[in-house]
């Protein structure tokens, strides 16, 4: 198979294992491209891409924009804070107005779950979901798995624990789908209040003791506590959270193996992860960022090639 | 589908030795020359020529790289399928070097056009030459000609030249296939 089974990247849920493998193989080639002295290829010079962000983002937006520019696409950026959305325009109207300027692809981040799926049914453009509420963040999960594959050789058969605020995390859900599809075992670990009630129906197990979870895993993906999405108090204090679910060097050194530490960013240093862990050689946090550009180039390339 | 043999294994071997000698004639000790096999099919010819130059003609220090041109092609989104890339492996600088592109069949010239663009990402070569095993005459879409050619053939568009290599396909042979 040499093309994706989907026309949009709305979530990992809609991809199959072969799609993920194809994205990784393509990303290998783009990783070589972005390490050349001239880091650009002319492939998408006839493609225009709109980055529409209804929610704040630094890393993802920069990474998508860089990926698009490295592929020679024309890029327009749109942030909801400076737009007519504030004047009452609907999502479909906003996007259709942008599309009437002959845009081929839309990369969208939106606070509402399912916004990408809704859009893909109403507009004629290829949609890439760059995060929709607490639902999915597919390119993050792809780059996370790609980074595991790069460090450990393969994802299949590996034990991965996702630690932290699972309830509000689109990264967690997309990662669970991606890891399970590739044959990894997944555990989630965090305060009971931050673990969704029916999470086990996704084929993952729950562990509330961080030390036990770390002893079991090959990879620990540390998530940030998403205070901005919390309307009530889910745990007594940040200090207590850190004591129970924060990873520090002492805890890592007490394990009988070297596990890989990941973090999708932004890091709250000293809360979910200490600085000496984030900057240690067990951490692949900066590799994740570099791989993010290659993965997004691969996704954009593969989807753009299906635009007729 | 019928096919006729254009080159036998023995003929291929003679041609490869001639091409190797022609390369030596121009590039002497290869101190300022790099060979670039074009993916996907040019790499077998490039590897074979490098082996002959090293083993039979005792040329040391040959630099060989592989260049993939997928992202530089001019037919993106024009075919049915997604174009799949291959590995690029160039672990040396091409700046101010004499570059020799190596490919098995020269047909429309579009791959070479893409390769000329692609190689610029690795520096500014002093000059670029082209070596092909088969040169399909009268079928060029672009003003591109080889500097070294194994065999020139007249083939009509409905025909296809199929180059097979021992390493990859079990035997050395070149067919002209009627589609």
- Tens of pLDDT, residue by residue over B13-42, are 999 999 999 999 999 989 999 999 999 999
The reported pLDDT for the residue numbered A85 is: 66
Average of per-residue pLDDT across A93-111: 89
Spans of all domains in chain A: 12-137+289-304, 138-284
pLDDT attached to residue A37:
86
Model confidence pLDDT, tens digit, residues A105-141: 999 999 999 999 999 998 889 999 999 999 999 999 9
Please say if the pLDDT value at position A290 is more than 70: yes
Query: What is the arithmetic mean of pLDDT over B56-70?
Result: 94
Token duo for residue A198: 């029916």
Alpha-carbon gap: B91 to the closest alpha carbon of chain A (Å): 10
Q: Phi then psi for A38, rounded to 5 degrees?
A: -105, 110
A18 has a chain B CB within 8 A of its CB: no
Those residues with Cβ within 8 angstroms of residue A50's Cβ, 6 or more apart along the chain or in another chain? A75, A76, A77, A78, A98, A99, A103, A105, A106, A107
Confidence of residue A260 (pLDDT cuts 50, 70, 90): very high
Q: Which of A83-97, A161-175, A237-251, B45-59 has the lowest mean pLDDT?
A: A83-97
- For residue A301, the distance in angstroms to the closest alpha carbon of chain B comes to 9
Question: If pLDDT is split at 50, 70 and 90, which confidence band does B129 have?
Answer: very high
Residues of chain B found within 8 Å of residue A38, distances taken between Cβ atoms: 120-122
Of A26, A36, A305, the CB nearest to B76: A305
Instruction: Indicate whether A158 pLDDT > 60.
Output: yes
Residues A24-48 have pLDDT tens digits of 999 999 999 999 988 999 999 999 9
Give B103-122 pLDDT, tens digit per residue.
Answer: 999 999 999 999 999 999 99
Separation of first and last alpha carbons in chain A: 19
Which CATH class name applies to B2-24+35-72+97-178? Answer: alpha beta
User: How many beta-carbon pairs below 8 A join chains A and B?
Assistant: 53
> By the CB < 8 Å criterion, does B179 face chain A?
no
Cα dihedral B172→B37→A66→A303 (10° resolution)? -20
Average pLDDT, chain B: 93
- pTM for the model: 0.91
- Select the more confidently predicted residue: A307 or A284: A284
Residue B178 pLDDT exceeds 90: no
Confidence of residue B83 (pLDDT cuts 50, 70, 90): confident
**DSSP state, residue A232:** S
For residue A28, the chain B residue with the least C-alpha distance is B87
pLDDT band at A80 (very low <50, low <70, confident <90, very high): confident
B82 touches chain A (CB under 8 A): yes
Q: Is residue B75 scored above 70 in pLDDT?
A: yes
pLDDT at A96: 85
Beta bridge partners of A49: A75, A105
CATH architecture of A138-284: 3-Layer(aba) Sandwich (3.40)
Q: Please provide residue A106's backbone torsions phi and psi, each rounded to the nearest 5 degrees.
A: -125, 125
Question: What does the alpha-carbon distance between residue B36 and residue B42 come to, in Å, rounded to a whole number?
Answer: 9
Binning pLDDT at 50, 70 and 90, where does residue A91 land?
confident
Q: What is the pLDDT of residue A75?
A: 96
Separation between Cα atoms, residue A188 and residue A221, nearest integer Å: 9
Joined together, the tokens standing for residue A124 give 């004629």
User: Which pLDDT does position A185 carry in this prediction?
Assistant: 97
Comparing alpha-carbon positions, the chain B residue that sits nearest to A46 is B76
- Tell me: pLDDT of A1 over 60: no
Instruction: Give the mean model confidence (pLDDT) for residues A231-256.
Output: 90
What average pLDDT does range A215-237 have in this prediction? 87
Q: Read off the pLDDT band of A227 (50, 70, 90).
A: confident
Which of B85, B114, B116, B119 to probe the A interface (max A CBs under 10 A)? Answer: B85
A12-137+289-304 CATH: 3.40.50.1370
Question: B21: distance to nearest CA of chain A, Å?
Answer: 33
3-state secondary structure of A79: strand
Q: How does residue A84 score in pLDDT terms, banded at 50, 70 and 90? A: low
Which of B72, B86, B87 shows the shortest C-beta gap to A41? B72
Compute the half-sphere exposure of residue B38: CA atoms within 13 Å on the CB side of its CA.
28
Answer yes or no: is pLDDT of A165 > 80.
Answer: yes
Of the two residues A228 and A277, the one the predictor is more confident about is A277
Give the pLDDT of residue A146: 98
Non-local CB neighbours of A69 within 8 Å, separated by 6+ positions: A40, A75
**Cross-chain CB nearest to B120 (options A25, A38, A43):** A38
User: What is the pLDDT at residue A233?
Assistant: 80
Domain parsing of chain B, residue ranges: 2-24+35-72+97-178
């Amino acid at each position: 198979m040499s093309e994706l089974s989907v026309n949009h990247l709305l979530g990992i849920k809609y991809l199959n294992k072969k799609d993920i493998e194809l994205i990784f193989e393509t990303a290998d080639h783009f990783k070589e491209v972005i390490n050349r002295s001239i880091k650009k290829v002319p492939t998408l010079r006839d493609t225009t891409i709109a980055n529409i962000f209804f929610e704040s983002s630094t890393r993802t937006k920069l990474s998508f924009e860089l990926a698009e520019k490295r592929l020679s696409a024309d890029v327009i950026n749109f942030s909801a804070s400076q737009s007519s959305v504030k004047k009452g325009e609907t999502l479909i109207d906003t996007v259709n107005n942008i599309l009437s300027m002959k845009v081929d692809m839309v990369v969208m981040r939106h606070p509402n779950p399912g916004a990408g799926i809704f859009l893909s049914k109403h507009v004629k453009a290829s949609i890439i979901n760059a995060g929709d509420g607490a639902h999915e963040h597919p390119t993050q999960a792809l780059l996370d798995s790609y980074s595991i594959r790069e460090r450990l050789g393969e994802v299949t058969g590996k034990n991965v624990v996702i630690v932290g605020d699972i309830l509000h995390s689109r990264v967690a859900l997309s990662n669970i789908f991606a890891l399970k599809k590739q044959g990894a075992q997944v555990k989630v670990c965090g305060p009971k209040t931050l673990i969704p009630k029916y999470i086990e129906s996704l084929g993952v197990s729950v562990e509330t003791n961080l030390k036990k979870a770390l002893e079991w895993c090959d990879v620990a993906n540390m998530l940030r506590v998403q205070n901005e999405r919390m309307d009530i108090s889910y745990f007594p204090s940040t200090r207590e959270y850190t004591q129970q679910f924060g990873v520090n060097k002492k805890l890592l050194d007490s394990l009988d193996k070297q596990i890989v530490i990941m973090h999708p960013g932004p890091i709250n240093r000293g809360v979910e992860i200490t600085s000496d862990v984030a900057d240690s050689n067990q951490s692949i946090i900066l590799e994740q960022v570099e791989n993010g550009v290659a993965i997004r180039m691969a996704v954009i390339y593969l989807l753009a090639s299906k635009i007729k | 589908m019928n096919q006729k043999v254009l080159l036998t294994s023995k003929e291929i071997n003679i041609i490869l030795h001639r091409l190797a000698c022609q390369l030596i004639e121009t590039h002497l000790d290869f101190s300022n020359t790099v060979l670039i096999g074009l993916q996907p099919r040019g790499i077998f010819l490039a590897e074979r020529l490098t082996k002959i130059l090293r083993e039979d003609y005792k040329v040391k220090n040959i630099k060989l790289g592989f260049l993939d041109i997928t992202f530089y092609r001019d037919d993106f989104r024009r075919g049915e399928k997604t174009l799949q890339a291959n590995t690029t492996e160039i672990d040396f600088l091409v700046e101010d070097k004499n570059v020799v592109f190596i490919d098995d069949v020269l047909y429309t010239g579009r791959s070479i056009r893409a390769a000329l663009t692609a190689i610029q990402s690795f520096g500014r070569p002093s000059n670029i030459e082209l070596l092909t095993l088969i040169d399909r005459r009268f079928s060029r879409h672009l003003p591109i000609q080889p500097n070294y050619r194994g065999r020139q053939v007249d083939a009509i568009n409905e025909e296809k030249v199929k180059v097979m290599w021992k390493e990859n396909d079990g035997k050395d042979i070149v067919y002209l296939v009627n589609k």
